[in-house]
Amino acid sequence: MSVLSLEQFMTTPPEQMPYDIIIVGAGSAGAVLAARLSEDEQTRVLLLEYGPSFDPDGYPELLYSGNIIAANGDQRYEWCYYASPVSQPDPVYTPRGKTLGGSSAINAAVACRALPWDFERITAKGLKGWKYEDVLPYYKKMETYPLGEDKYHGREGPLPIHQMTLEEITPVQRATLEAAWQLGFARVEDFNHPEANNGAGPNPMNIINGVRVNTGMAWLTRKVRQRPNLTIVYGALTDKLIVEENRVKGVQLADGEQCFARQTILSAGAYGSAAILLRSGIGPRHHLESLSIPVVKEAPVGERLRDHAFYWINFAGKAELKGHEHPVVAAQIWTNSSFAKSAREMDIAISPSHLLPADLSPTGVAFSLGLELMHCSSTGYIRLKSRDPHDAPEIALNHLTTEDDMRRMVECFRLARLLADMPPLRQLIEYEISPGASVGDDESDIRQALAQGVSTLQHPCSTAPMGPPDDPCAVVDENGCLYGLHDLRVIDASILPEIPLINLNPTIIMMAEKLADALRNDIHEERKNGIHQAGKQRQNNETIVRRHSRRRWFSGCGSRRTS
């Protein structure tokens, strides 16, 4: 139909808006789902997003620039969440995107996929349809990548991927790679080749001519936004689900407005989807009862939060590097520590970047080696502070709180220091700013520095994980259908049962592509079997009255039931 503000949406006659599917959140998953599901002209889709809407070519620089990450903390486009500290002196800044495109509009745009090893871990849990060969077609479907083997890469997908070259990256990034190669690391030409990606090289990026291409641009194109069966509403903060007799009928917004459809999909991200479930009475009983939220379905929502731990080693660079600091992120070393089970378990990474403020260096040039722990066993949680949807949730990331995580990160720290001492990189360094000379090679000192300085790589997941019915940690099945309730799916980073060993965004997009197909197949089967009964639920439209709200009814298809 169009892109509407919440005010415009509320003045639209309900009879003009019968929806089959409501999608909450227009980020890495939600934008993809809306575009794919509305390809079927008979399926009417309502996409709800709290953040602002922009024309695909009209995003502000804070969101489109590949050299700005997390929108510089601008609350118009970013949720500005903070996680509770463990050993850190202050709460941990935990940015999440708030616009069409979600966190794909504020991230570093590194377009690396999860590994076959990641999907072996998922299928080992008994989940079907998640082998590497099952997901590869959807990784290909999502991208346009002109290089590499046809076997592994797509040529006509919505998301353009650019392989950075040595000539395009900065002197610091080149020197870091050269140092790694001198240490014997392999030269990686394609980090998304499943059998040749352990080593060092420039990144594949979804940045084209300096523009970060987010899902709001790539999937929600002008043509898609003009579809008569797709309505996008921005400024719409979802409070909770509306559940009647174990069926999710739709959602209630923060202002009391109610939207109904036969199928509801939560795609509000690892924090947002979990918070909506909890406010809806779906979660741990003790937590819900502590806030006087009636328990609709007891489930381990928010209890298994995972995130990649991140730590900066910061340097003052030589003055002659000034003016050679873009792109801010463009290369990495991705490899395995000595604690990995095999070379296929690439559990640590180091990324040279130019995100440190220049005024922290007397030379006017500062850069960092970012230490990234990809295999994380530390578990955090997300809980509600109150029932108010405007209140930020309580987030605990608990980075480096297991011995396994800490020892891997110590090894990553030492590798970064070794790289900095290799001739290609050493000649560009004035001195190490932090943690600095006070932290030598004594392991206890390194551990203390890591514990006090660890932060987030901004990859939260697993707050409503997939799993088989007998898995006590599982909230949804392999198609994202919530156990114990009908007509609700969660499709975003929340449902990952394990955190992949790399950036999440391409994998979340892939999952949305895959599960959109699964839902479309369910819709097709229901239509074929005669379950599609247009207008059946609207028979009660005149008999149900809610104060301060209107019921917006669906007519159309349904989804597979769960038990």
Residue 107 annotated in ligand binding: yes
Q: Is 109 annotated to bind ligand?
A: yes
Question: Pairing relation of β-strands 199-202 and 207-208?
Answer: unpaired
Q: How many CA atoms lie within 13 A of 506 on its CB side?
A: 33
CA–CA gap between residue 364 and residue 322 (Å, rounded) = 7
Q: Which one of the listed residues 162, 354, 459, 486 is annotated catalytic?
A: 459
Beta strands in 397-457 (DSSP E): 429-434, 455-456
Write out the E strands in 196-327: 199-202, 204-205, 207-208, 211-212, 230-234, 238-244, 247-253, 258-260, 263-266, 282-283, 297-298, 309-317
110 annotated ligand binder = yes
**148 class by beta-carbon count within 10 Å (0-12 exposed, 13-18 middle, 19+ buried):** middle
Taking Cα atoms as reference points, which of 528, 536, 509 lies closest to residue 158?
509
DSSP letter for 113, please.
P
Dist CA 94 CA 262 (whole Å): 34
Which residues fall within 8 angstroms of residue 263, CB to CB, at 6 or more apart? 20, 21, 22, 487, 488, 489, 519, 557, 558, 559
Alpha carbon distance 8, 234 (integer Å): 10
d(CA 41, CA 314): 53
Instruction: Return the axis-axis angle of helices 505-528 and 132-142, rounded to nearest 10°.
Output: 100
Within 10 angstroms of residue 13's Cβ, the number of other Cβ atoms is 8
Answer for the pair 507, 491: CB distance below 8 angstroms, yes or no. no
DSSP code for 258? E
User: Tokens 């046809």 appear where?
Assistant: 150
Q: How far apart are CA 522 and CA 274, in angstroms?
A: 25
354 labelled catalytic? no
3-state secondary structure at position 14: helix
Closest CA to 270 of 364, 381, 104: 381
Contacts of 205 (CB under 8 A, 6+ apart): 66, 109, 110, 111, 161, 162, 163, 164, 327, 330
Write the CB contacts of 115 (distance below 8 Å, at least 6 apart in sequence): 194, 197, 344, 346, 500, 501, 502
Q: Are 43 and 37 in contact (CB under 8 A)?
A: yes
Which residues 6+ apart lie within 8 Å of 54 measured at CB?
60, 63, 99, 100, 216
- 135 assigned binding-site residue: no
Active site amino acids: 459
- Binding site residues, as ranges? 107-110
- Binding site residues for FAD, as ranges? 107-110
